């Protein structure tokens, strides 16, 4: 069963001078290593270099080679979505595809437009390239996105004059995504991603020092720095370094205290420290988050009846699909399968099909009937008949989301 998932400024903190073995050397994220023995980083940065005026004639023809983009398979897409009348017509504008949650089609359209741009339309090409990569992530194809990001990563890694000139024009969101993609499929256990985030944090600090503290630009860099701190925590969790992630959260400054308490409580649950998690709950001032955590702690401690009562009270007082989903999970664990199924089916009728809902309802069908495949197929058809929207990973769903 799936319950609530683990979620995801100061100029000082762990991102400035890391003292643990996972930390990156204090080097440019796109430049050469800090020493010959340092772990190689494949992302460049302008950190420590004088600002370079971007050239108007930057050439991005290497990103316009159709051969670097892969055809997107549809074998993993539930057939009901492929044959639905709600599929957008050929030639639909990219904005319409994105607003309708047609992310696979949007990824294809982004390439179609990208290869037809003028090579010196740098901002437009980067925007379309980012759209392509992020859509691939949304349709659960990070493997393809990682391969298609290689040409840009390789160019920036050279730290050539062309790369240094081009770097300031790479959107920040794309740079964050590139750090994420360069760690996919590697055997370093995620260390490269951590190093890339530390290096970007160094760049943020350099920019904060160079701007007036009250400037909008300085505040923007500060927000980016805070965001990077939380991303490091997420990356450590993905690596399985839960204790390191917990210590890292202790060092973050200028981050919402309730957000830190919430994350630390969930991390404590993950390592089986219920008493430690309870202490974190007491530090959470947001009553909504505190109530969620208390109910989750009861589930983690095996008190499903108590958790069921908590989720029921939250469900009665507010319209929260995640609380309803968790109530259904608690009902399943206490043997009330039919009421749990009714709640989940009600959510499927009134809300977009978020992953936890689809997984749990499919599981309920498997527990209730020998004709689970037929019930799950009907669920697929119900989701395919909903008005397309970008919520919950987009309108088009993969077969694995329904356990098919």
pLDDT at 316: 62
| Per-residue confidence (pLDDT) for residue 15, from 0 to 100 | 53
Report the alpha-carbon distance of residue 210 to residue 38 in Å, rounded.
Answer: 28
Burial class, 320, CB count within 10 angstroms (exposed 0-12 / middle 13-18 / buried 19+): middle
Q: Where are the alpha helices (DSSP H) in 216-286?
A: 216-239, 242-251, 257-270, 274-282
Burial class (CB in 10 A: 0-12, 13-18, 19+), 319: exposed
Do the domain assignments include residue 252? no
Instruction: Tell me if 159 is assigned to some domain.
Output: yes
Sign, CA torsion 70/126/398/102: negative
Q: Quote the pLDDT of residue 65.
A: 94
Please tell me the distance from the alpha carbon of residue 398 to that of residue 146, in angstroms, as a whole number.
20
Domain for residue 93, yes or no? yes
Cα–Cα distances in angstroms (integers) from residue 192 to residues 158, 177, 236, 319, in the given order: 17, 13, 11, 41
| 126 in a structural domain | yes
| pLDDT score recorded for residue 321 | 87
- The length of the chain is 404
Q: Are 144 and 132 in contact (CB under 8 A)?
A: no
Beta bridge partners of residue 77, listed in sequence order: 398
Q: Tell me the average confidence (pLDDT) per consecutive run of 10 residues in the chain, 404 residues long.
A: 42 42 35 33 36 53 94 93 94 95 97 93 95 96 95 87 86 95 80 90 90 81 92 91 91 87 89 87 86 88 89 73 90 91 93 92 92 94 94 92 92
Query: Does residue 384 sit within a domain?
Result: no
Q: Give residue 317's pLDDT.
A: 55
pTM exceeding the 0.85 threshold for the entire prediction: no
Cα–Cα dist 385/392, whole Å: 15
- In angstroms, the CA 372 to CA 354 distance is 20
166 located within any domain: yes
The answer to whether 110 and 137 are in contact (CB under 8 A) is no
| 268 within some domain | no
Domain count, the chain: 1
- Domain span at residue 145 reads 37-185
């Amino acid at each position: 069963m799936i319950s609530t998932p683990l979620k995801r400024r100061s100029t000082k903190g762990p991102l400035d001078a890391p003292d643990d073995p996972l930390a990156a050397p204090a080097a440019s994220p796109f430049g050469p290593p800090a020493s010959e023995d340092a772990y190689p980083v494949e992302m460049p940065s302008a950190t420590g270099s004088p600002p370079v005026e971007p050239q108007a004639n930057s050439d991005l023809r290497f990103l316009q080679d159709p051969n670097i983009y892969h055809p997107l398979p549809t074998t993993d897409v539930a057939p009901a979505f492929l044959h639905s009348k709600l599929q957008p017509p050929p030639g639909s504008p990219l904005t319409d595809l994105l607003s309708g949650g047609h992310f696979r089609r949007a990824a294809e359209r982004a390439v179609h437009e990208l290869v037809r741009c003028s090579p010196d339309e740098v901002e437009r090409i980067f925007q379309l390239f980012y759209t392509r990569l992020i859509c691939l992530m949304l349709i659960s194809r990070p493997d393809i996105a990682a391969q298609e990001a290689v040409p840009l990563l390789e160019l920036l890694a050279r730290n050539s004059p062309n790369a240094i000139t081009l770097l300031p024009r790479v959107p920040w969101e794309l740079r964050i995504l590139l750090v994420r993609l360069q760690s996919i499929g590697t055997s370093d256990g995620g260390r490269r991603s951590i190093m890339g985030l530390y290096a970007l944090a160094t760049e943020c600090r350099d920019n904060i020092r160079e701007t007036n503290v009250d400037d909008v630009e300085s505040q923007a860099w500060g927000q980016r720095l805070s965001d990077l701190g939380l991303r490091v925590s997420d990356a450590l969790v993905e690596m399985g370094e839960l204790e390191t992630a917990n210590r890292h959260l202790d060092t973050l400054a200028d981050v919402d205290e309730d957000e830190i308490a919430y994350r630390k409580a969930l991390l404590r649950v993950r390592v089986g420290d219920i008493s430690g998690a309870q202490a974190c709950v007491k530090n959470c001032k947001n009553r909504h988050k505190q109530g969620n955590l208390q109910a989750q702690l009861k589930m983690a401690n095996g008190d499903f009846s108590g958790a069921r009562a908590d989720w029921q009270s939250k469900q009665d007082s507010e319209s929260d699909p995640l609380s309803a989903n968790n109530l259904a999970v608690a009902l399943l664990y206490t043997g009330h399968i039919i009421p749990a199924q009714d709640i989940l089916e009600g959510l499927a009728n009134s809300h977009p099909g978020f992953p936890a809902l689809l997984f749990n309802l499919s599981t309920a069908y498997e527990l209730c009937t020998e004709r689970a495949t037929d019930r799950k197929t009907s669920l697929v058809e119900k989701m395919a008949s909903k008005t397309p929207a970008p919520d919950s990973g987009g309108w088009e769903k993969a077969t694995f989301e329904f356990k098919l």
